[in-house]
Structure 1
Amino acid sequence: MLRLRRGVLAQLLSSPSVSPLHRLLSAAAPAAPCISPNPSFAVEDYLVRTCGLTRPQALKASAKLSHLKSRAKPDAVLSFLAGLGLSTADVASVVAKDPLFLCAKVDKTLAPNVAELTGLGLSPSEVARLVSLGPDRFRCRSIVSTLEYCLPLFGSYDNLLRALPRAGGSILGSDLDRVVKPNVTFLHECGLAACDIARLCIHTPLLLNISTERIRTAVACVEGLLGVPRGSLMFKHALQAVAFLSEDKITAKVELLKKTFTWTDAEVGIAVSRAPSLLKRSEDSLQRMSEFLISEVGLEPAYIAHRPTLLTFSLKGRLRARHYVVKFLKENGLLSRNRDYYYAVKITGKEFVEKFICPHKEAAPHLAKDYAAACKDEVPTRFRFT
């Protein structure tokens, strides 16, 4: 194993991609010897001139590196990063995020991590991406066991990569035995298949970091307050919506929905069970939706409750623009007054144009242009009815 680690390190340091940085480090070596501690070693200047940080970034980072008396260890780390293929900008980003990365041990931590992660099937570029996303995690040996467990859990490296920025890289530092594995086990007990857990964790990766007890509380809210049973198609969506909300906040949001749309208890239950993301909408957003759909479009509250997806669409770019088109067509006798509004907004933009714009090119040649303007929140004169 030691021979493997030395081989990996030697390969990294001898890589052609290291040469520009190597030349830079070699040129600076006479002025700052790497063999013995240099009392005059200026950390802040090193961060600016060698690592590419801005002066404000260097000033902030140098506070964590005040113990450095030599450039020996940072030089080795920079050579390691260059060997992985990180650009100058990537290196600067890594050091700015985690200044202590410059103090990591290349031979005992960084190079072994590379060797073992490539052994798991990751390419050098994928390993480099991990370093960029979570440098503080990469300088820990535990990242290998974490990745070994998480890769099958997420289904692929790409899926994991999508989740990491949303969790701030914290997945890589999660306690596998005390947090992650118990959470996954409980989610399985809730009836979620491996693919469901993967999708849930991609969109809400912090579920892997919170306590299992907190997830149990969230599941109780999903079943009790929202009336969404385990095993239903909407269960994982509801869990995603309430996972980080307290019971009090969920109750308050339910009351807000009832008041804003004048829904009964049964109607709000139907709406939230079909569109749990409503619990994440702001009071202002919900109020504007209510005023438009009820007051302007003329929809009944019960109609909206049974079609809560309406409230997840863009008011400016979709709901309002399509309402203008449908109303214009009806006012001019080009569309049946019984044509359902929900159908007009749920179909894709391409389908809407094909079904509501194209058939009326001769009767309303300006309609396509007016619709395009309405999608930009502009209201053409022809769409204004008194």
Structure 2
Amino acid sequence: MLHLRQRVLSHLLSAAPHPSTSPLLSLSTAAAPAVSPNPSFAVEDYLVSTCGLTRAQALKASAKLSHLKSPAKPDAVLSFLADLGLSGADVAAVVAKDPRFLYAGVERTLAPVVAGLTGLGLSNAEIARLVSLAPGYFRCRSVISKLEYYLPLFGSIENMVRPLKHDHFFLRSDLERVVKPSVKLLAECGLGACDIAKLFIRTSRMLSAKPGRVLAMVACAEGIGVPRGSVMFRQALHAVSYISEDKIAAKVDYLKKTFRWSDAEVGIAVSKGPFMLARSKDMLKRRSDFLISEVGLQPAYIAHRPAMLTYSLEGRLRPRYYVVKFLKENGLLEHGRGYYTTLVKTEKVFMEKFICPHKEAAPHLAEDYATACKGEVPARFRFT
């Protein structure tokens, strides 16, 4: 047992950033007698000195480990995690998230789970990353069958990790009763495998929603004017998944008032840009004030091009408007050139089309544009 503890210490200490920044595993040989079952074994102290938790974290975690009378089982788990490649900081995070992980059976549970995931093509580093994000689910062998289904569904381990950082409850969802029927329904609505993956990456809560709830989302998306099979259907599902029908109606009314849209125009705008339903009122109001009051665009023009509302006000809408206005005022760009066409250009293309060709006539244009992108208005971009 002493040999095991020393092995744990050597693995995790070598992975820790620096002794001065990580308290993990500061046990000495003099503490070895505590390895034997001992009524005086202090769980809270073990969590601090061996697992690297703060005293506050250890106090909270120890309540779930009160039955532990010996470090034998936790030592075995820590050794297993070290072999898997988790750093000292990672181990501390795992234990803080799920203290019960310390008494998971290595031979009975953890080793078979890792073997199963390795069989799915995951590397030790990928498995370690998943364990760090959602340790509680890796104490059950059922996670193997879950990931066997989810990995092809998401398309890659990276795609699955993205929602897992914020919401790991989909790992608990019943595949046969909840997930698979919902996936089938979405496929019947015209979404391809790639679209379904993108939807779940952004809206993983749909994997936990019962099929009836997903069907209601589909009906709601159709209700705002986005039919099944349309290119915007996935975005519409994403938008309505966050808000109730009452809030959708309220947001539509707000859009009408803020952008001065008629019923027909707001219908066009929402069907082309359902993302607006999930945007904050402040964000929408600021863009409305700029596009209508400052740029002078007509409400109907914006309604048919709602994509412009997705662009950063400070990083794209204002700076490019200033450039276009400067070029027109100085006779370097025909006045008929539309503002929207400049917005949809990539940064590289915008520079090539509207900045670089005017180096001689407007040598400070690139510098002024860069300044405008930082939220400032250069003197040359101010017109009376």
TM-score (norm 1): 0.91
Identity of counterpart residues, as a percentage?
Answer: 69
2:98 alignment counterpart? 98
Structure 1 residues 28 and 177: alpha-carbon distance in aligned structure 2, compared to 1, 3 A threshold: farther
Counterpart secondary structure, 2:214: helix
2:46 alignment counterpart? 46
Deviates more, 1:174-183 or 1:74-83: 174-183
* 2:11 alignment partner AA: P
Looking at structure 2, the residues matched to 84 and 327 of structure 1 have their Cα atoms a distance apart, in angstroms, of 59
Structure 1 residues 64 and 46: alpha-carbon distance in aligned structure 2, compared to 1, 3 A threshold: same
The number of residue pairs the alignment matches comes to 369
TM-score (norm 2): 0.91
Looking at structure 2, the residues matched to 18 and 120 of structure 1 have their Cα atoms a distance apart, in angstroms, of 31
Q: Confirm or deny: 8 A CA contact 1:166 1:204 kept in the other structure.
A: no
2:58 alignment counterpart? 58
The reply to whether residue 335 of structure 1 matches residue 326 of structure 2 is: no
Q: Confirm or deny: 8 A CA contact 2:8 2:78 kept in the other structure.
A: no
1:5 alignment counterpart? none
1:287-302 maps to which residues of 2 (within 5 A)? 287-302=285-300
1:200 alignment counterpart? 199
The reply to whether residue 215 of structure 1 matches residue 210 of structure 2 is: no
Looking at structure 2, the residues matched to 74 and 28 of structure 1 have their Cα atoms a distance apart, in angstroms, of 19
Looking at structure 2, the residues matched to 213 and 353 of structure 1 have their Cα atoms a distance apart, in angstroms, of 49
* Unpaired stretches in structure 2, ≥5 consecutive residues: 15-24
Counterpart secondary structure, 1:232: coil
Q: Confirm or deny: 8 A CA contact 1:110 1:139 kept in the other structure.
A: yes
Deviates more, 1:144-153 or 1:156-165: 156-165
1:31 alignment counterpart? 33
Residue among 310, 320, 323 paired with 2:321: 323
Aligned-pair Cα RMSD in Å: 2.0
Residue among 304, 307, 311 paired with 2:305: 307
Q: Confirm or deny: 8 A CA contact 1:17 1:85 kept in the other structure.
A: no
Deviates more, 1:282-291 or 1:203-212: 203-212
Residue among 11, 17, 20 paired with 1:20: 11
* 2:141 alignment partner AA: R
User: 1:29 Cα deviation (Å)?
Assistant: 5.9
Residue among 364, 372, 378 paired with 1:380: 378
2:344 alignment counterpart? 346
1:284 alignment counterpart? 282
Structure 1 residues 66 and 17: alpha-carbon distance in aligned structure 2, compared to 1, 3 A threshold: closer
* Unpaired stretches in structure 1, ≥5 consecutive residues: 1-12
User: 1:178 Cα deviation (Å)?
Assistant: 2.2
User: 1:250 Cα deviation (Å)?
Assistant: 0.9
* 1:375 alignment partner AA: C
Q: Confirm or deny: 8 A CA contact 1:18 1:82 kept in the other structure.
A: no
* 1:188 alignment partner AA: A
User: 1:253 Cα deviation (Å)?
Assistant: 0.9
Looking at structure 2, the residues matched to 28 and 342 of structure 1 have their Cα atoms a distance apart, in angstroms, of 73
Q: Confirm or deny: 8 A CA contact 1:166 1:205 kept in the other structure.
A: no
1:368 alignment counterpart? 366
Counterpart secondary structure, 2:47: helix
Counterpart secondary structure, 1:191: coil
